């Protein structure tokens, strides 16, 4: 885990540069749209593995407050610099009291967890009864998944540390961690070498080969 944290810490200062490119902006807006579709409109929540806070900044509203939680001190420095409420901590031992959150979400974080089952179980304890956890992950069965797997073979790539999932594998992981799946969406229809377009969301039946999937689960153990 420490090696993964160090890898993300090294790129904290340049982490958002890619999001400023046309393709990166398309990816960001697509993922943001998916999260907006599944997240509650109000309440107190947390992004686990929040990085620089770019998603928290865009998902926080007057009625919806979001905490940044990340294990990298360098990433935490970026989000606190934005004035966002931030805590240093890991998913396996989140620095919050049980049953205080109205939602939790993770963006491309499950892929980097050493023990995702332990992390998801620990996060479930933070949620109020019927409150959701939304996991956004790269679809291994997609051109994006293939690109990131190829990237992971290169020295110095963040994706050397990643384990990519299919939607079915991730759903099984959530169920094993004590969640009932109550929603799913796909995003990123444009492949990595394609031209960005207006972001759209799909059902798994419509676009099972889309670049990312989002799963919404409710803990059955609260």
Q: Is the whole model's pTM more than 0.85, yes or no?
A: yes
Per-residue tokens: 204? 């798994």
Q: Which fold has domain 17-46+53-68+95-219?
A: Rossmann fold (3.40.50)
Instruction: Write down the mean pLDDT value for the chain.
Output: 93
Report the 10 Å Cβ neighbour count for 97. 9
Pairing of strands 86-88, 64-70: parallel
Sign of CA dihedral 181, 187, 14, 6: positive
List the one residue out of 115, 108, 8 whose CA is nearest residue 48: 108
pLDDT of residue 161: 82
- Write the pLDDT tens digit of every residue in 47-61: 999 999 999 999 999
pLDDT of 88 higher than 80: yes
CA distance 50 to 18: 16
- What is the residue extent of each domain of the chain? 17-46+53-68+95-219
Sign of CA dihedral 194, 135, 161, 157: positive
Asked if residue 185 lies in contact with residue 34, where contact means CB atoms within 8 angstroms, the answer is yes
pLDDT of 10 higher than 90: no
């Amino acid at each position: 885990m420490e090696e993964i944290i160090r890898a993300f810490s090294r790129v904290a200062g340049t982490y958002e540069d890619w999001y400023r490119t046309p393709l990166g902006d398309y990816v960001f807006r697509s993922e943001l749209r998916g999260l907006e579709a599944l997240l509650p409109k109000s309440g107190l929540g947390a992004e686990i593995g929040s990085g620089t806070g770019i998603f928290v900044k865009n998902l926080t509203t007057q009625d919806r407050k979001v905490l940044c939680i990340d294990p990298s001190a360098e990433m935490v420095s970026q989000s606190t610099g934005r004035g966002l409420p931030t805590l240093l901590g890991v998913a396996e031992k989140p620095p919050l009291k049980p049953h205080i959150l109205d939602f939790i979400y993770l963006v491309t974080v499950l892929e980097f967890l050493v023990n995702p089952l332990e992390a998801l179980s620990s996060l479930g304890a933070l949620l109020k009864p019927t409150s959701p956890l939304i996991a956004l992950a790269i679809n291994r069965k997609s051109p994006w998944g293939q690109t990131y797997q190829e990237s992971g073979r290169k020295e110095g790539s963040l994706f050397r540390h990643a384990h990519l999932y299919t939607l079915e594998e991730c759903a099984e992981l959530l169920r094993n961690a004590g969640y009932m799946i109550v929603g799913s969406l796909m995003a990123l229809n444009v492949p990595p070498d394609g031209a960005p377009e207006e972001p759209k969301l799909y059902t798994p039946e419509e676009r099972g080969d889309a670049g990312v999937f989002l799963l919404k689960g409710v803990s059955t153990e609260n």
